[in-house]
Amino acid sequence: MIWLRNAMLYDGKTLRDGSWDICIEGSRIAKVIPCEAEKTALKNEGASCLDRDLRGCLVCPGFVDIHAHFRDPGQTWREDIESGSKAAAVGGFTHVVAMPNTDPPVDDPSGVRYVAEKGRQAGGAVVLPAGAVTVGRQGRTITEMIGMAKEGAVLFTDDGSPVLSSKAMRIALLYLKDLNIPLMEHPEEVSLSEGGQMNEGRISALCGLKGIPRSSEIIGVDRAIALCKETKGRLHLTHVSTKEALESIRKAKAEGLNLTCDVTPHHLVFDDEMIVKSGYSPAFKVNPPLRTKDDVEALWEGLKDGTVDAIATDHAPYHVDEKDLTFEEAKFGIASLECAVAVVLDEWDKRGKPFDLSRLLGLFTAGPGGIIGMDRTIKVGGKADITVIDLNREQKVDVRRWKSKARISPYDSLTLKGWPVMTVVAGEIRHAL
């Protein structure tokens, strides 16, 4: 039995008044009680239990990251399921969805089974598999999605690239409609982005680097929305980075389409000027690229008005030999799993808390959980997946201490305010400070 005492409580819907005691028995939540109620009885009952005083901290449903790259199978020098799982737990996530752009790709039931089995035993956050939409992620022939869903695939995506064939995407949306599983699309028109290094615009011109036009993402989003509308399928658009794409999503939602989207921490805190300010550090090279200040502001407005459903890390770890190169030669990707929540909480605080904390927390809990069919509420009888946040904790990012294998990140050495301090998975403490 575990007692989490004297904590503030976000139950997955509302930020409750006062302080609360939460009792965990086995893998379930046994009691949720105001601290002032039955105070003496609670003290006696908890005398022989694991008892944690969380005064000043906030208890939340377990955070979910629906987009991370764990490179397993086949590229485990970059990351593996165990290291990714433990990194996720340190970052406050109880569940994380692993992308299928591995080597070989996760494009059949056996691949999904491999990720699911290793993900259950990894020792940190539970790692859930995503399956590829097309065989070999080649964009032509759809995979055996029914068999993959039976093995535990929670969504389907060719992420790392878009579903190249519109016909294949259309067929996949029709199939997945019957399974009630979303297709996660990486919106990009590759004929426009090919060879690009950063966002196309004034900064790329000053840098002398080939730009990736914003139209690449806009066209990708508009194509996916058109197919979603025609098939009435479930579509999720990931790592949205431009204000025009977000506006297309806003309009599609107003029409009632079965559509969700996420944004990443790095697109919320950095713009393309950071590439120059950093001295062309490859840590800032990512796809989709960092956009303009106007785009950053548009994304925050999307968080506020509900257009954005989730914040996802797009954690993309690489070995130092693949990332510590010139900007042009380095791989695309930002590693952030262990500090992503702190990055967003810190920026939200610096912006003067532009919307309610409950809305922000929902972007890590009910939002992503709902996309993959996972209940994210704290209630008696519910599963004891819990994230504890200290909103006032200030801490420096130190990549040398990460559980992740990644050692290059744009967040390294930044001091951030607001950190996960405990992660509980099915009643077991997987991380605690």
- The mean pLDDT of 415-419, rounded to a whole number, is 98
Listed as own residue / partner, the contacts of 397-402 with beta carbons closer than 8 Å and 24 or more positions apart are 397/339, 397/342, 399/335, 402/87, 402/90, 402/338
- The mean pLDDT of 198-208, rounded to a whole number, is 96
169 in Cβ contact with 133 (< 8 Å):
yes
CA distance 200 to 367: 31
For tokens 């930044």, what's the residue? Answer: 414
- The mean pLDDT of 107-136, rounded to a whole number, is 97
Q: Output the DSSP codes for 257-285.
A: -SEEEEE-HHHHH--THHHHHTTS-GGG-
Give tens-digit pLDDT for 210-247. Answer: 999 999 999 999 999 999 999 999 999 999 999 999 99
What are residue 79's phi and psi, to 5 degrees? -170, 160
Give tens-digit pLDDT for 47-87. Answer: 557 899 999 999 999 999 999 999 999 999 999 999 999 99
- Dihedral over alpha carbons 340, 161, 276, 284 (to 10 degrees): 30
**The pLDDT value given to residue 37:** 59
Q: Please say if the pLDDT value at position 27 is more than 70.
A: yes
**The pLDDT value given to residue 391:** 97
CA distances from 216 to 101, 190, 191 (A): 21, 7, 8
pLDDT level of residue 46 (50, 70, 90 thresholds): very low
CA distance 275 to 290: 9
**The pLDDT value given to residue 40:** 40
This prediction has a pTM of 0.96
The amino acid at 81: I
CA distances from 346 to 128, 193, 359, 392, 393 (A): 28, 32, 15, 10, 10
Active-site residue list: 314
Helix H or strand E segment including 58: strand 58-61
**The pLDDT value given to residue 41:** 45
Helix H or strand E segment including 290: none
Chain centroid, CA 332 distance in Å: 17
**The pLDDT value given to residue 39:** 52
pLDDT level of residue 36 (50, 70, 90 thresholds): confident
Q: Does the bond joining 288 to the residue before it have cis omega, within 30 degrees of 0?
A: yes
CA distance 168 to 143: 10
Describe the crossing of helices 215-231 and 243-254 by its angle, rounded to 10 degrees.
10
Give tens-digit pLDDT for 338-380. Answer: 999 999 999 999 999 999 999 999 999 999 999 999 999 999 9
CB-count exposure of residue 30 (10 Å: 0-12, 13-18, 19+): middle
